[in-house]
C-alpha cells in the first residue's frame, strides 16, 4: 500500500513491538485491527496468534505488552489491555497533522498499489436486446462502474466492455410475437425498445400457455442463425431500436466502454470451437445435442449446442473469451452477472481449460433486486423499468427541492433532482453486499435521512456551505494540537482510513464496504458539527484547525462518492 497516515502509524507500532518482543517477529500491519468501541483505544492488537510462543494465555500476554512503556511514542499516547487485546491510543495532533499533509499531495488520497499495473477487463452488464431494461440491471451496472473505479484506484489498468446478447431464444420469441400477432404495427415513437420488451414478454407467456407454438419459435431462431433475409432484416431493425435505448441508459448510469461485443459476431466462431471439442473427444453428442459431462467435477452436464443445431450462451462465450484476450492483451477478465449464472461460469471456465485456454477469468455474482411486493421476471412482464423508476424518483426529488429552494431556477431544480435520483438509485444498489438480496424501496432511496445517497449528498453540501461561510478557509498555519475533542479525533481517524477501505473493497470485489465507510464518515461529521462549533469556535486558531478538519472530511467524502460514481451537489 502506498504511504498514508495509518500505514505510517501502524508500521511504526509494528516495528517497535517487533524490536521489544521476540515472539512478535512475524508481526505485520494486517494483524492490527480497530476496536469496536473507541473507549478502548484507536488501534488494537489481538494476541491469540502469539500467546503460545510467548508462553502465556492471550489475556496475560495483552497485559504484559501493555505494561511495557509506550511504543511508537511519536504517534501513541497510551496503551491498555482489554481481555486478549492490546489497545493503542493515538495522539490526536499527530494523527491530524499526518492526515492534512497527505491530503495536500496532488495524488488521489485513496489510492494503493495493489494491482501493480495488471491489465484487467470487466465485462458488464451483458444485457439482452429485445428485453426490458429494469432496475435489476441497474445493480449490475452500478457494481461494474464502482468496481472499475476501485480497481483503477488500486493500481490496475482497466478496460470496460459490454457483451450484448442479441441472438438466442429470447430474440426469437420477440420476433415471433411481432410477426404472428403484431405484423404491420409500428412502435410508439421514442419508446421502441420498451415496446420490444413488451412483445418479448407476450411471446414468452403465449409459448408457456401454448407449447404447440414451440416449433414456430424454433424455426424463427434457426432462420435467424442461418441468415434468412426476411428474418435477418427484421432482426437488424429491431436490434437497432434495443441498442439505442440501452446505450442511453448505460451512459446515464456512468458506464463507459472500450468495446461493445455482440453475440451475433462470435456465434459462428463458437460453433467451430464446439466442432473442435467434438473432434478431440472433449465434447460428445447426446440425443442430437452437444454436451460436456462435468459430473466428476461437480458441475453437471454443460450443453454446448441444441439438437436443432442452434447455439446457446456457451457456444458464443467460448469464442468471446479467446477474442477478448487476443484483442486487448489483458492479464485477467472479470464477468459480472447475477448468482443464477454461477454454475454456468464454473462450467464455462472448465470447458475453456479443457480446450487449452489458460488465461485467468473470474465471475462475480450478485443477488436479485426485489420489490417490496415481490420478485421480478421479464418473461411475465412483471418488472419495474429503470426509466419509470428514475422518472418517478426525479419527480419526487424535484418537488422536494422546490419546497426547499423556491427561489431556484427550473433548470437548477431539474439538475439537482436528477443528481438526487441517480444518487438514490446507485447508492441503493451499492450499499448492500453483492451476496445479499436487495428489496428496493424508492421512498427510502430518496430519503435525506439514514443510510441513503441523498443523505451523503446533503452532508457534502452541508460541508461545502460551511466552508463557504468561513471565506478564507484554513489558510495559514494550523495548530493540530487544538483538535483534542473526541469527535474531532474520530472524524480524523476515520477519514484517514480511506486508502485501507479502497484496497479492501477492491480485494473483496465489494463496493458496499466503501458505501458503508462513506455513511459512517457522514455520521461522524454530524457528531463533530454538533459538538465542535466551527463558525462559533472559541477563537480563530481553533476555528482554523476545525475548518482544516472539515476540508479534510469533505475531500475524503468527495473521493468516496466519485469512486462510487455518485454525482456531487454543491448545495441543497
In this predicted structure, what is the pLDDT of residue 476?
67
**Residue 372 within a domain:** yes
**Residue 413 within a domain:** no
Across 474-481, average pLDDT: 81
Is the pLDDT at 2 greater than 70? The verdict is no
- Is the whole-model pTM more than 0.75? yes
**Same structural domain for residues 226 and 135?**
yes
**DSSP character at residue 36:** S
Q: Are strands 43-46 and 76-82 parallel, antiparallel or unpaired?
A: unpaired
Length of the chain, in residues? 572
**Same structural domain for residues 372 and 491?**
no
Return left, alpha or beta for 319; rule: phi > 0 is left, psi -120 to 50 is alpha, else beta. alpha
In this predicted structure, what is the pLDDT of residue 381?
53
Determine what percent of the chain is predicted with pLDDT higher than 70. Answer: 97
Task: Give the count of domains, the chain.
Answer: 3
In this predicted structure, what is the pLDDT of residue 64?
95
In this predicted structure, what is the pLDDT of residue 443?
87
- Residue 225 · residue 310 · CB < 8 Å: yes
Cα distance between residue 249 and residue 85, in whole Å: 50
In this predicted structure, what is the pLDDT of residue 138?
95
**Same structural domain for residues 170 and 294?**
yes
Is the pLDDT at 472 greater than 60? The verdict is no
Taking only the tens place, the pLDDT of each residue in 245-270 is 999 999 999 999 999 999 999 999 99
All cell numbers assigned to 26: 512475524
Across 362-391, average pLDDT: 79
In this predicted structure, what is the pLDDT of residue 87?
97
Residue 150 vs residue 572, higher pLDDT: 150
Across 488-498, average pLDDT: 98
Q: At what angle do helices 92-104 and 486-496 cross, to 10 degrees?
A: 40
**Same structural domain for residues 201 and 319?**
yes
- Domain with residue 53: its CATH number is 3.30.1360.70
**Residue 73 within a domain:** yes
Across 368-373, average pLDDT: 81
Domain residues for 344?
A: 120-380
Across 367-383, average pLDDT: 69
Using alpha carbons, list the distances in angstroms from residue 58 to 35, 37, 45: 16, 20, 11
Bridge partners of 160? 122
Determine what percent of the chain is predicted with pLDDT higher than 90. Answer: 89
**Residue 106 within a domain:** no
Bridge partners of 120? 158, 332
**Same structural domain for residues 54 and 187?**
no
Amino acid at each position: 500500500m502506498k504511504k498514508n497516515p495509518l500505514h505510517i502509524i501502524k508500521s511504526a507500532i509494528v516495528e517497535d513491538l517487533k524490536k521489544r518482543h521476540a515472539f512478535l517477529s512475524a508481526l505485520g500491519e494486517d494483524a492490527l485491527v480497530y476496536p469496536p468501541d473507541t473507549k478502548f483505544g484507536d488501534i488494537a492488537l489481538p494476541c491469540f496468534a502469539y500467546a503460545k510462543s510467548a508462553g502465556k494465555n492471550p489475556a496475560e500476554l495483552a497485559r504484559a505488552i501493555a505494561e511495557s512503556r509506550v511504543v511508537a511514542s511519536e504517534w501513541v499516547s497510551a496503551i491498555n489491555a482489554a481481555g486478549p487485546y492490546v489497545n493503542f491510543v493515538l495522539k490526536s495532533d499527530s494523527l491530524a497533522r499526518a492526515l492534512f499533509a497527505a491530503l495536500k499531495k496532488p495524488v488521489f488520497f485513496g489510492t494503493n498499489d495493489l494491482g501493480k499495473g495488471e491489465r484487467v477487463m470487466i465485462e458488464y452488464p451483458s444485457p439482452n436486446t429485445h428485453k426490458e431494461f429494469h432496475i435489476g440491471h441497474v445493480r449490475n451496472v452500478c457494481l461494474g462502474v464502482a468496481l472499475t473505479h476501485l480497481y483503477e484506484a488500486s493500481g490496475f489498468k482497466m478496460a470496460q466492455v459490454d457483451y450484448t446478447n442479441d441472438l438466442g431464444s429470447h430474440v426469437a420469441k420477440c420476433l415471433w410475437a411481432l410477426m404472428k400477432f403484431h405484423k404491420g404495427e409500428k412502435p410508439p415513437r421514442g419508446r421502441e425498445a420498451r415496446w420490444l420488451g413488451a412483445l418479448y414478454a407476450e411471446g414468452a407467456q403465449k409459448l408457456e400457455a401454448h407449447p404447440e407454438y414451440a416449433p414456430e419459435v424454433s424455426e424463427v431462431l434457426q432462420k435467424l442463425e442461418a441468415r434468412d433475409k426476411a428474418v435477418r432484416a427484421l432482426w437488424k431493425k429491431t436490434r437497432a431500436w434495443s441498442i439505442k435505448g440501452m446505450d442511453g441508459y448505460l451512459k446515464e448510469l456512468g458506464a463507459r466502454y472500450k468495446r461493445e461485443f455482440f453475440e451475433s459476431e462470435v456465434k459462428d466462431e463458437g460453433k467451430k470451437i464446439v466442432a473442435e471439442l467434438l473432434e478431440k473427444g472433449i465434447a460428445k453428442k447426446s440425443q442430437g445435442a452437444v454436451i460436456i459431462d462435468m459430473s466428476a467435477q461437480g458441475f453437471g452436464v454443460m450443453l454446448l449446442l441444441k439438437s436443432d443445431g442452434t447455439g446457446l450462451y456457451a457456444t458464443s462465450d467460448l469464442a468471446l473469451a479467446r477474442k477478448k484476450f487476443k484483442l486487448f492483451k489483458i492479464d485477467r477478465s472479470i464477468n459480472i452477472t447475477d448468482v443464477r449464472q454461477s454454475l454456468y461460469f464454473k462450467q464455462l471456465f472448465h470447458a475453456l481449460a479443457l480446450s487449452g485456454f489458460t488465461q485467468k477469468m473470474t465471475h462475480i455474482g450478485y443477488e436479485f433486486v426485489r420489490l417490496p411486493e415481490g420478485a421480478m421476471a421479464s418473461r411475465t412482464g412483471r418488472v419495474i423499468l429503470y426509466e419509470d423508476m428514475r422518472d418517478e424518483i426525479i419527480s419526487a426529488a424535484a418537488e422536494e427541492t422546490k419546497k426547499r429552494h423556491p427561489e431556484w431556477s427550473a433548470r437548477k431544480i431539474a439538475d439537482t433532482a436528477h443528481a438526487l435520483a441517480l444518487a438514490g438509485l446507485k447508492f441503493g444498489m451499492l450499499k448492500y453486499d453483492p451476496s445479499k438480496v436487495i428489496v428496493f424501496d424508492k421512498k427510502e432511496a430518496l430519503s435525506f435521512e439514514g443510510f441513503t445517497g441523498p443523505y451523503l449528498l446533503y452532508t457534502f453540501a452541508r460541508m461545502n456551505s460551511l466552508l463557504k461561510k468561513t471565506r478564507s478557509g484554513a489558510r495559514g498555519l494550523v495548530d493540530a494540537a487544538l483538535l483534542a475533542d473526541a469527535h474531532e479525533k474520530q472524524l480524523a481517524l476515520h477519514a484517514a482510513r480511506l486508502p485501507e477501505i479502497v484496497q479492501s473493497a477492491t480485494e473483496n470485489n465489494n463496493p458496499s464496504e466503501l458505501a458503508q465507510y462513506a455513511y459512517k464518515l457522514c455520521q461522524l461529521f454530524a457528531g463533530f458539527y454538533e459538538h465542535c462549533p466551527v463558525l462559533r469556535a472559541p477563537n480563530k486558531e481553533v476555528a482554523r484547525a476545525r475548518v482544516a478538519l472539515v476540508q479534510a472530511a469533505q475531500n475524503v467524502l468527495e473521493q468516496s462518492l466519485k469512486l462510487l460514481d455518485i454525482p456531487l451537489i454543491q448545495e441543497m
